[in-house]
Structure 1
Amino acid sequence: MTSDYERQLPHGLSDLFFAEAAQRTALESGLAETFLRWGYTQVIPPTFEFYESIAAEAGTQLREELYRFFDRDGRTLALRADFTIPIARIVATKLYDQPMPLRFYYIGSVFRHEEPRAGRRREFTQAGIELIGARTPAADAEVIALALEALRTIGLREVRISIGQMAFFKALLADLGLAPEQVAQVKAAIERRATAQLESILRALPMADERRHALVQLAGWRHSERWREAAHALCINAQSHQVIDELTEVVERLRASVQADNVLSVDLTALRGMEYYTGVVFAGFVPGIGYDLVSGGRYDELIGHFGKACPAMGFAIGVERAMMALPAQNARLGPDVVAEACAHAECYEQIVAARRAGERVLVDVLGRSGGALRAYAQSLGARVLACRHKGKICEG
């Protein structure tokens, strides 16, 4: 008897074929080319590892989403839920004596037992980079600039980047001396932009009026150019001022290098990944899409858990989410040119030359020509390559 499961997929998985498969492959290729041009080399960690290796460094939520299973010796294994933790292990255990910084990129599937939603299944594709061994504003700016460049390269032209600073906010909360439940209340109020509730919570704490006012202002000034004003008012020592000064340098470097005056904004109350990140954090999105396409930040403590401590900064792009965002911006991933399947060497040379020039050339092997070939090219949003043989155009 045939089981129904033989014809079905587990909840949260999907098949890709035809246009979707081609689009994802094209996206992955475009991202890989961009990472390579910036000097990043590929790293390929295994699809599964010992559960302890992943779970010990994962945050609470990620740990709960791990797919676990047993090998034949009874040892607990887990499917890869992200790339950063395996790369941290590789660097700490195998590459600790290499010249720094190291630059890696990755593209591959990750697996999380979470509720499927728009652009995120239980198996999805991440593409990203890790810049390891540098703790400078220049390194932070490079990582964010590369994230922006990668999304632009695949056709997303209206990307917006929001930048935060986790070290600043962690220091602020530590200085307040809050109990864990109070930290949770403050964090929840800030994430909801509930300034009235935040004001009420802070009034119950031993906190100077000017600092309370500055924190409430900071929560309300999301993406405002006045963030420096409120941030410096909240600084508790010289180190806090330095953190804000370094963030200012990151923003200035980005605006100088990527012509991104209308693309960047600062949100010092972005608290996602608070237990994981240690410095600059950021996320990228496009208007009209209700989720981040890329997110990342500085995680200077992770690699040290596997061996020698080493600063690091990186990001991950959700490839399926990027695929969903592209139609909203009418980006093309099909061929640029359609050519007749001509047997003449001269025509073939023209096709090769067009491909080498960076154009995507599709050869019509069904033998269409003339109006039929033009109609076919038009249906693909492409133009016809007019191949010439002995001075004459081959396509009719």
Structure 2
Amino acid sequence: MKIPAVKGTRDLYPDLLAPIRRIFDVWRAVSIRHGFEEFEGPTLEYLDLYREKSGDELVGQLYRLTDSGGRELALRPEMTPTLARMVAAQISSLPKPIKWFSIPTLFRGENVQRGRLREFYQWNVDVIGAADVVADAEVILVGVEALREMGLREADFAVHISNRRMIAAMLQAAGIAPERLSGAYALMDKSGKLEAAEFDRRWDAAYGAHLPSARLRALLASTDLNGLEREMRRIAGGSKHADAAAELEAAVAETARLMAILSDFGITEYCKLDLRVVRGLAYYTGPVFEFYDRSEKERAICGGGRYDDLLGKLGKSREPAVGFGMGDVVLALLLEEKSLRGPARRTAGVYVIDADPAARPIVHRVVAALRRAGLCADFGYAAQPIGKQLKSADKKGARFAVILGIDPADAGRVRIRDMAGGHERDATLANLLEDPKKMIGIDT
């Protein structure tokens, strides 16, 4: 019986995995360069961790199971609750700010479509213990630098920035009760996915008495922070909620400072104000952002924001926190469309060949020496004509071939062939074994 891969998962053969590993390499290098440490957590968590922390939509996408002891578990759909749980457990002993990153496998039971799978990798970058928005700016900077290092530029992607505090204050100033905000966020998060008429119908039915959809749309479309602040003040000006008006002023100032720091970092050209970004997860409390590609498809590459209350719900103390998650699926598609996917497979570096079967023992010796010198080296297991061995070297992407046994009368002579240009030169076996990198002319 033929059993296929589970829908929404991938069989990653070497040629498919290689460009994903390249993405991982950039993610890891950029994280470390910006002072972040790598961590990992369990793939399985208790279901209650997500019931309480992640919001209804994500909980509905969980892969759930019950263990032999009757405990309800779930495959992790995101990493932030795990991070928060781990940090809360040792908060008193961890030096702050905590700057961690991870590249976990995640699982979500959502509709499978191009760019959206049920099992995927995600790069998570978080700062815990820093209340200042300079931390928000730095995690945005990390995301931008990673995409730039992969070859993407200003014409390829943009960072859309908003602020949950600002939106919450605006909605409360308009008269929407705090307990109804989560529903408003969820609907606003769908504004780009719903037809305009359908969004207006749903919004006006639920919240139109306080803030008509037409006025909401005008606010969300604004990209000028000063003009947006004036319009929001008009809403708050007639409000009985003085606390909402004060919160609105603070949130606008916070957003303005965030944009100023991003300018200091030199990435203003990538960033824009976009109040349509609210993020669907329940735990966000301040600035939020999403990275989008600038094509007509306008796909989300990355999303994150500030979640200052989450650790307090899992531990004894409240700790400010901010971070993002960037999945590999949409990013890989974008890189492929921009011809930035990278090589299909890693090269063998050096392929060792015997021109005479009697040289097989020397092949084994040379391969071992090359590998000990830090070179990537390979060879064929079965005895074959030299032509077939050269074809194998080419298929494996070898940069050089080392050919042994070219002269039965001189076992100490080897030939080094540049596979790209076909140029050949001879060397002694003794020199090759003494300094493989120098003799071959390769550093890695």
Q: Does the pair score TM above 0.5?
A: yes
**Alignment partner of 1:318 is 2:327:** yes
Report the Cα distance in structure 1 between the residues aligned to 2:119 and 2:187, rounded to whole angstroms.
34
Are the aligned partners of 1:338 and 1:384 in contact in 2 as well (CA < 8 Å)?
A: no
Match of 1:51 in 2: 47
Q: 2:174 aligns with which of 173, 176, 179?
A: 176
Q: 1:352 to 1:23 in 2, by over 3 A?
A: farther
Report the Cα distance in structure 2 between the residues aligned to 1:44 and 1:362, rounded to whole angstroms.
28
Match of 1:273 in 2: 280
Report the Cα distance in structure 2 between the residues aligned to 1:372 and 1:90, rounded to whole angstroms.
48
Q: 1:340 to 1:252 in 2, by over 3 A?
A: same
Corresponding letter in the other structure for 1:227? L
Are the aligned partners of 1:103 and 1:131 in contact in 2 as well (CA < 8 Å)?
A: yes
Q: 1:277 to 1:339 in 2, by over 3 A?
A: closer
Match of 1:126 in 2: 122
Match of 1:291 in 2: 299
Gaps of 5+ in 1: 356-360
Match of 2:357 in 1: none
Are the aligned partners of 2:351 and 2:398 in contact in 1 as well (CA < 8 Å)?
A: no
Q: Report the alpha carbon displacement of residue 234 of structure 1 after superposing the two structures with TM.
A: 0.5
Q: Report the alpha carbon displacement of residue 138 of structure 1 after superposing the two structures with TM.
A: 0.7
Report the Cα distance in structure 1 between the residues aligned to 2:64 and 2:169, rounded to whole angstroms.
35
Report the Cα distance in structure 2 between the residues aligned to 1:111 and 1:78, rounded to whole angstroms.
9
**Alignment partner of 1:25 is 2:21:** yes
Report the Cα distance in structure 2 between the residues aligned to 1:79 and 1:375, rounded to whole angstroms.
39
Match of 2:219 in 1: 218
Q: 1:11 aligns with which of 7, 17, 36?
A: 7
**Alignment partner of 1:68 is 2:64:** yes
Q: 1:350 to 1:219 in 2, by over 3 A?
A: same
Report the Cα distance in structure 2 between the residues aligned to 1:201 and 1:16, rounded to whole angstroms.
46
Match of 2:108 in 1: 112
Q: Report the alpha carbon displacement of residue 85 of structure 1 after superposing the two structures with TM.
A: 0.3
Corresponding letter in the other structure for 1:303? L
Are the aligned partners of 2:163 and 2:286 in contact in 1 as well (CA < 8 Å)?
A: yes
The alignment yields a C-alpha RMSD, in angstroms, of 4.2
Report the Cα distance in structure 2 between the residues aligned to 1:186 and 1:323, rounded to whole angstroms.
29
Are the aligned partners of 1:337 and 1:385 in contact in 2 as well (CA < 8 Å)?
A: no
Q: Report the alpha carbon displacement of residue 306 of structure 1 after superposing the two structures with TM.
A: 0.6
Report the Cα distance in structure 1 between the residues aligned to 2:104 and 2:50, rounded to whole angstroms.
17
Q: TM-score, normalised by structure 1?
A: 0.79
Match of 2:270 in 1: 263
Q: Report the alpha carbon displacement of residue 350 of structure 1 after superposing the two structures with TM.
A: 12
Are the aligned partners of 2:189 and 2:276 in contact in 1 as well (CA < 8 Å)?
A: no
Q: How does 1:355-366 map to 2 (within 5 A)?
A: none
Match of 1:358 in 2: none
Corresponding letter in the other structure for 1:26? R
Report the Cα distance in structure 1 between the residues aligned to 2:186 and 2:120, rounded to whole angstroms.
33
Q: TM-score, normalised by structure 2?
A: 0.71
Q: Report the alpha carbon displacement of residue 205 of structure 1 after superposing the two structures with TM.
A: 3.7
Match of 1:306 in 2: 314
Corresponding letter in the other structure for 1:178? I
Q: 1:386 to 1:233 in 2, by over 3 A?
A: farther
Q: Report the alpha carbon displacement of residue 27 of structure 1 after superposing the two structures with TM.
A: 1.4
Report the Cα distance in structure 2 between the residues aligned to 1:33 and 1:147, rounded to whole angstroms.
12
Report the Cα distance in structure 2 between the residues aligned to 1:186 and 1:274, rounded to whole angstroms.
12
Report the Cα distance in structure 2 between the residues aligned to 1:394 and 1:285, rounded to whole angstroms.
45
**Alignment partner of 1:227 is 2:220:** no
Match of 2:157 in 1: 159
Are the aligned partners of 1:26 and 1:333 in contact in 2 as well (CA < 8 Å)?
A: yes
Are the aligned partners of 2:285 and 2:309 in contact in 1 as well (CA < 8 Å)?
A: yes
Three-state SS of the structure 1 residue aligned to 2:333 is helix
Are the aligned partners of 2:18 and 2:346 in contact in 1 as well (CA < 8 Å)?
A: no
Q: Report the alpha carbon displacement of residue 278 of structure 1 after superposing the two structures with TM.
A: 0.7
Q: 1:385 to 1:40 in 2, by over 3 A?
A: farther
Report the Cα distance in structure 2 between the residues aligned to 1:31 and 1:169, rounded to whole angstroms.
31
Q: Report the alpha carbon displacement of residue 149 of structure 1 after superposing the two structures with TM.
A: 1.1
* Of 313-322 and 362-371, the range deviating more from structure 2: 362-371
Match of 2:256 in 1: 248
Sequence identity percentage: 25
Q: Report the alpha carbon displacement of residue 18 of structure 1 after superposing the two structures with TM.
A: 2.5
Q: Report the alpha carbon displacement of residue 374 of structure 1 after superposing the two structures with TM.
A: 9.3
Match of 1:327 in 2: 336
Q: 1:206 to 1:78 in 2, by over 3 A?
A: closer
Report the Cα distance in structure 1 between the residues aligned to 2:4 and 2:187, rounded to whole angstroms.
45
Q: Report the alpha carbon displacement of residue 297 of structure 1 after superposing the two structures with TM.
A: 0.6
Report the Cα distance in structure 1 between the residues aligned to 2:422 and 2:307, rounded to whole angstroms.
50
Q: Report the alpha carbon displacement of residue 267 of structure 1 after superposing the two structures with TM.
A: 0.4
Report the Cα distance in structure 2 between the residues aligned to 1:47 and 1:137, rounded to whole angstroms.
31
Gaps of 5+ in 2: 237-244, 353-361, 363-367, 381-385, 400-418, 428-437
Three-state SS of the structure 2 residue aligned to 1:295 is strand
Are the aligned partners of 1:338 and 1:362 in contact in 2 as well (CA < 8 Å)?
A: yes
Q: Report the alpha carbon displacement of residue 114 of structure 1 after superposing the two structures with TM.
A: 1.3
Corresponding letter in the other structure for 1:125? Y
Report the Cα distance in structure 2 between the residues aligned to 1:164 and 1:146, rounded to whole angstroms.
18
Report the Cα distance in structure 1 between the residues aligned to 2:84 and 2:186, rounded to whole angstroms.
32
Three-state SS of the structure 1 residue aligned to 2:103 is strand
Q: Report the alpha carbon displacement of residue 118 of structure 1 after superposing the two structures with TM.
A: 1.6
Residues 221-260 of structure 1: CA deviation (Å, up to 9, x unaligned): 3xx3x23312343044343222212212212221231x33
Q: Report the alpha carbon displacement of residue 183 of structure 1 after superposing the two structures with TM.
A: 4.3
* Of 100-109 and 366-375, the range deviating more from structure 2: 366-375
